[in-house]
Structure 1
Amino acid sequence: MNHHSLPPWWRRAGERILDTLFPPHCLGCGAAVTRAGHLCGNCVAQLQLITAPFCHRCAQPFTSRAAAGPAMTCASCAKDPPPWREGRAAMVYDDLPRRLILPLKYADRTENVRLLARYLAIAAADVMGDAPLLVPVPLHRRRLFTRRYNQAALLARALGRMTGADVLPDALERPRATPPLESAGRARRQALMRGAIGVRPGRAGAIAGRNVIVVDDVMTTGATLSACTHALLAAGAARVDVIAVARACGQQEQQ
């Protein structure tokens, strides 16, 4: 019998026992909290959640509703539209999201997944209609071997469980390794990612005709998400949207 098949009262009793033996701590700062897997009030207050008005293409927050304009599209996306239809992100990528996302990526802090997926579900609520197929941004096999898991795939699976959406965790592959993109600017990222991502052999049939949502942890310049989108559209996806836990804003995009 697995944990999910236990009666609700038994699971609640087990959780109370565990909380007594191992008091829950805030995932952001380590302070005591009442429920495991949550943030303390101080950390919640630090989150810059992305709410309207924001660019509907790249999730960049606007300073005001007037600045958004009738199209709700930023000047950058109006001039050079991304290949996907809609883009959403849950929060601005600053200090606290870094303390949640980087340990998930590099330090096996997979307990952060459910918390981050809850924020993803809220941010993506208006693009989750029409029975979407969730597809994570892939890792190259060498990086996957080093990390042992793909954090975007964990987020996609958790989001699928929360929303009931289908998940195809191995839809995409990264046959060509790319250097770390963190220090690359927009043009360099786009050049590095050109042709670096494709649909895995045998997966095109599951993609054709579907409304696909690409899931990632951080959206920066959009180069990786663009490469994913081009591959999915070439495989016959009816529509592609993108969602990320956090959005690098302003100067962060150039770093």
Structure 2
Amino acid sequence: MDAGASPPRTTASRLRRAFGAVGGAWLQTTRLVLDIALPTLCVACREPVDGEGVCAECWAKLSFIAPPYCPRLGIPFVYDPGPELLSMEAIAHPPAYQRARAAVRYDDVARTLVHALKYQDRTDLAPAMGRWMARAGKELLDGADLLVPVPLHWRRGWSRRYNQSGALAKVISRRSGVRMASETLRRVRATEQQIGLSRPQRASNVQGAFRIADERKSDVEGRRIILVDDVLTSGATVDGCARALLRAGAAQVDVLVFARVVDHHRAPI
């Protein structure tokens, strides 16, 4: 799901991506030269960092989501209301999918990570983000049959050159052993940016935008599927995807995202 306007790609990320296609000893040498000449900077504060693109100080600012939370939507509660009590949103607007889980709240650092992965060719961030997602979604992954990344329309995919949700799903698949099916769900209609739209407008914007490829319907029938995306706001996009999968015969659809927007005043009822 789109979270904002596209920032410019950096020279360092372009070079690292270009050299990423080179193999063998030449690749190792090239990476060493790039690491010396173009050290990795923390995506949030721009300080040099060794590793996954987030310095210790900014990592500490990430707000990881942990229980207690709504068992349906994964929205964190300010206190523990007891087992199986739902959030007001889950009751007022029940989604087509069964459960949603997110690794972190969509705050300033999380937004910077998402934008860097999505718009700045920082695919080197996907392993850390995917690992946090796999941990947050362990209960979903246990017994799941298939990971399906939320697809981009082909025009947007061509301009970005890769699908950030697919990059995250690939990492989660490697860690969990759950098979990824990147071609099962297709976005057949280009949609407007969701930013600034009301809940009904968001739902209308994605209505009919997703479809299961005819030759892939056998992948879906009777399966427990996890939709993978980067950010969950109103849930309109993943809800549209879930409806398409359920119409095609999926037994259950859950949602796993890196970050979700959280109202600070959420509470159970």
TM-score of the pair, normalised by structure 1: 0.86
How far apart in 2 are the matches of 1:82 and 1:37? 34
Pairing of 1:156-195 with structure 2 (within 5 A): 156-195=169-208
Would you say the 8 A contact 2:199–2:234 is kept in 1? yes
Quick one: which of 32, 37, 41 aligns to 2:48? 32
SS at match of 1:122: helix
Quick one: which of 205, 209, 215 aligns to 2:218? 205
Match of residue 118 from structure 1: 131
Quick one: which of 224, 228, 232 aligns to 2:237? 224
Match of residue 57 from structure 2: 42
SS at match of 1:146: helix
Match of residue 9 from structure 1: none
How far apart in 1 are the matches of 2:144 and 2:204? 33
State the identity as a percent. 38
SS at match of 1:65: coil
Shift of residue 228 of structure 1? 0.7
Would you say the 8 A contact 2:169–2:228 is kept in 1? yes
Match of residue 75 from structure 1: 88
Larger RCO (CA within 8 A; separation ≥ 6) = 2
SS at match of 1:60: coil
Quick one: which of 142, 145, 148 aligns to 1:129? 142
Pairing of 1:84-95 with structure 2 (within 5 A): 84-95=97-108
Which residue identity does 1:239 align to in structure 2?
Q
Which residue identity does 1:206 align to in structure 2?
D
Which residue identity does 1:162 align to in structure 2?
R
SS at match of 1:250: coil
RMSD: 2.5
How far apart in 2 are the matches of 1:24 and 1:103? 13
Shift of residue 237 of structure 1? 1.1
Aligned residues: 242
In the alignment, structure 1 segments of 5+ residues that lack a partner are 7-11
Quick one: which of 247, 251, 257 aligns to 1:234? 247
SS at match of 1:191: helix
How far apart in 2 are the matches of 1:19 and 1:56? 43
Match of residue 138 from structure 1: 151
How far apart in 2 are the matches of 1:161 and 1:27? 25
